[in-house]
Amino acid sequence: MNYYANSGERERLIAGLRELADFLTQSPQVPAPRWADVLVFPPRGTDAEMFAEIDLIAGHIGVTASRDDDTPTAHYAAARRFGPVQYRAVAIPLAARADHSKEGE
């Protein structure tokens, strides 16, 4: 399974974002959020594989990836802001996924 958009899906996403921007511009009566996040997740793999993918994305967007904190469950992410809009690539470590699975039991 490919976790990233193919070229057609990418074009539709970009068109949809532009349509949303145009709609909000033309519809001032419609509430708009103060910010927006666009999230992308790497394919599941080992922590090292997912972190390497985030590092690759970080290079493409011109930032340095980092962990949220120093715990084994901390997410590893790279983010770039465009005003109040954030593009964020996030890897969720295996320990965090395991903790989340236990919560649902």
What is the tens place of the pLDDT at every residue in 1-21?
568 999 999 999 999 999 999
What is the tens place of the pLDDT at every residue in 32-59?
999 999 999 999 999 999 999 999 999 9
Does 105 or 51 have the greater pLDDT score? 51
- The pLDDT assigned to 91 comes to 96
- The pLDDT assigned to 66 comes to 95
- The pLDDT assigned to 101 comes to 54
> What are the phi and psi torsion angles at 17 (to 5°)?
-65, -40
Q: What is d(CA 76, CA 74) in angstroms, rounded to the nearest whole number? A: 6
